[in-house]
Chains A and B, each alone.
Chain A
Amino acid sequence: MLLTQNSKLKTSFMLTIENISVNYGAIEALTNISMRVEQGEVVTLIGANGAGKTTTLRTITGLLEPTEGRILFEGKEIQGVATHKLVARGISMSPEGRGVFANLSVRENLQMGAYLRKNKTEIAEDVDTIFEAIDEIRSKGTTILLVEQNAHAALHHSDRAYVLETGKIVMEGPSKELAADPRIKEAYLGE
């Protein structure tokens, strides 16, 4: 969960949870929980399966409502506030199981991640720079096997490449050479 400071008002307590309880029907999932996250801290909440970690996160993000207690973000009460409004105020969480929209394209998934941003040009730029993340990960010494449909970007950001066609490797070699190969250009790069 990321907490982004939004208000100009400096508060040392970014997030404060005061005595919240959460029920699923008759079952009490959280009992009288209190905790706080100060500006700039990294705070971790640990616990076994079923201990209530997810319930806590879902309550902070407004997906669940506590039966008792208060949650304060930058000094203001947020329990009962709709999730999408909290996202706009600076509370964001990557959903469990990654929450990928499998019925949407990769690009549309990225665009949904930028749903609240207004500047279309900036969003388009950021979506296109997703491949630069590969260079960044590599610069930290990580080895990568990149499996990708976007041939142009993949060849541009890799050293060597294999081309798979109907279950067979049909070409292999340095990415630069493949990118210049007329057959690749015609079949994958649309030139």
Chain B
Amino acid sequence: MDTFVQQLINGLNIGAIYALIALGYTMVYGILRLINFAHGDIYMVGAFAGYGLAYFIAANLGLAGASWGALLIVLVGAMITAALVGMAIERFAYRPVRKYSRMTTLITAIGVSLLIENLFVARYGGMGRGFPQLLNDRTYQLFGNAAISKSQILIFVVSIALMLLLQWIIYKTRVGTAMRAVSFNLNSSKLMGINTDAIITFTFALGSALAAAAGVLTAQYSPTIDPLMGITTGLKAFVAAVLGGIGNIPGAVLGGLLIGVAETMVVGYGANVGIASTYRDAVAFAILILVLLLRPSGLLGSTVQEKV
């Protein structure tokens, strides 16, 4: 029972990270029908931006060591940086090829991903580096032997807050309503006077900011970052988006949490049924194959019927 609770906490925690990243995949797909394969790298860019900022404020503002102020500056700064990078990618890589076939944009996305990864390897080297700890991490004992760390609580609190904020933007604001309109019908949206290019750019900014938050939060929990950290995590988040139903926002969150829990359950119980814990990374992709076979539209994905 203790193991179960512990693995559930760990699974939901890592799942929250996948969910934050999956939201970016699903929003961009919803609006452009594009799988943005560079999105996992934005998660990495966010972590590196946070790393740079942490050293910058330590040197220039005297905010060295763990403090809530430093954490807030690093988190928000990384989100803004990643949003700008995401907007630039959309503007200079995807927009010029948008008028061509979807295969062209897909290959462009793969190209952008490789470009970012290799630029970072060239600049920072392929070795992992320690992310400065901005949180006095400690562990809280729950009932039994289950425990939760401060950095895990931080992941829960920040990801839930960001998801609620996203929900508000998408369903309650003018720009959010326009995002939903553009995702349903691009040309009709243009005829309503919506600047669809601006809405698309905004969507990339939002998704990238969420991925960067995931990057900084992960770096508090497991503080090693490297230029290729976005590949596996990004792919798993992509699987999460497909599992939930790509294009569906609650689906991305559900998919992320499920993938996270499935992964930690394999670590916790896999040995009992002959699956080594080293298979944790394979779980997501096994799930992907199952989803594509059994329910290609995903758990919450469905086609909208036009009413008369």
The answer on a CB contact under 8 Å between A101 and B191 is no
Query: Does A142 belong to the interface (CB within 8 Å)?
Result: no
Q: A100-B306, A108-B177 are in contact. Are A115 and B184 (CB under 8 A)?
A: no
The interface bits of chain B over 168-187 (1 if a CB of A lies within 8 angstroms of the residue's CB, else 0) are 00000010011011011101
B67 within 8 A of A: no
CB-CB under 8 A for A87 and B181, given A63-B187, A102-B304, A102-B307: no
A63, A84, A102, A104: the one within 8 Å of B193 (CB): A84
Contact at B188–A101, with CB atoms within 8 Å? yes
| Contact call B306/A87, Cβ cutoff below 8 A | no
Residue pair B192, A63 in contact (C-beta under 8 Å): no
Interface string of A79-113 (1 = CB under 8 A from B): 00011100110001111000111111000100111
Q: In the bound complex, do residue B187 and residue A102 qualify as a contact, i.e. CB atoms below 8 Å apart?
A: no
Chain B residues within an 8 Å CB radius of A112: 177-178, 181, 189, 192, 194
Interface centre among A92, A100, A101, A104 (most CB of B within 10 A): A101
Contact A113 B184 (CB under 8 A): no
State which of B174, B196, B306 has its C-beta within 8 Å of the C-beta of A84.
B196
Q: Check A103/B304 contact, CB under 8 A, given A111-B177, A112-B177, A115-B178.
A: yes
Q: Is B104 an interface residue (CB 8 A)?
A: no
Q: How far is the CA of A158 from the CA of B65 in the complex (A)?
A: 70
What CA separation (Å) do A93 and B188 show in the bound complex?
9
Q: Does B190 contact A (CB under 8 A)?
A: yes
CB of A83 within 8 A of CB of B190, answer yes
For A101, list chain B residues within 8 Å (CB).
Answer: 180-181, 184-185, 188-189
Interface check B305, CB cutoff 8 A: yes
Q: How far is the CA of A99 from the CA of B306 in the complex (A)?
A: 10
Question: A111: which B residues are within 8 A, CB to CB?
Answer: 174, 177
Residues of chain B with a CB closer than 8 A to A63's CB:
187, 190-191
Q: List chain B residues, Cβ under 8 A from A108.
A: 177, 180-181
Q: Which A residues lie within 8 Å of B188 (CB)?
A: 95, 99, 101
**CB proximity of A158 to chain B, nearest CB, Å:** 20
Q: Among B180, B193, B197, B306, which residue has its beta carbon within 8 angstroms of that of A115?
A: B193
A-chain residues with CB within 8 Å of residue B139 when the two chains form the complex: none
Please tell me if A61 contacts chain B, counting CB pairs below 8 Å: yes
Q: Is B167 an interface residue (CB 8 A)?
A: no
Contacts of A84 in B (CB 8 A): 190, 193-196
Q: Most A CB atoms within 10 A — which of B174, B189, B192, B306?
A: B192
- A2 to chain B: closest CB distance in Å? 11
- Assess whether A51 is interfacial by the CB under 8 Å rule: no
Contact partners of A124 in chain B: CB under 8 A: none
Q: How far is the CA of A94 from the CA of B196 in the complex (A)?
A: 17
Within 8 A of A (CB), among B194-222: 194-197
CA gap between A95 and B181 in the complex, in Å: 13
With A63-B187, A101-B185, A104-B177 already in contact, the answer to whether A87 and B307 are too (CB < 8 A) is: no
Q: Contact mask B280-308 → A, CB, 8 Å, 1/0?
A: 00000000000000000000000011110
> In the complex the two chains form, what is the Cα distance from A88 to B193 in whole Å?
7
Q: Which chain B residues border A102 with CB–CB below 8 Å?
A: 184, 304-307
Name 30 A/B residue pairs within 8 A (Cβ), A-sorted. A61-B190, A63-B190, A83-B191, A84-B193, A84-B195, A87-B190, A87-B191, A88-B193, A92-B191, A93-B191, A95-B191, A99-B188, A99-B191, A100-B306, A101-B188, A104-B177, A104-B180, A104-B181, A108-B181, A111-B177, A112-B177, A112-B189, A113-B192, A115-B174, A115-B178, A115-B192, A115-B193, A115-B194, A116-B192, A116-B193
Interface residues of A (CB under 8 A from B): 61-63, 82-84, 87-88, 92-95, 99-104, 108, 111-113, 115-116
Top 5 A-B pairs, shortest CB-CB distance: A99-B188, A87-B193, A83-B190, A116-B193, A102-B306
Report B's interface with A, CB cutoff 8 A. 174, 177-178, 180-181, 183-185, 187-197, 304-307
**Extra inter-chain contacts (11) besides given A101-B184, A115-B178, CB under 8 Å:** A63-B187, A82-B190, A94-B191, A101-B188, A102-B307, A103-B180, A104-B177, A108-B181, A111-B177, A112-B178, A112-B192
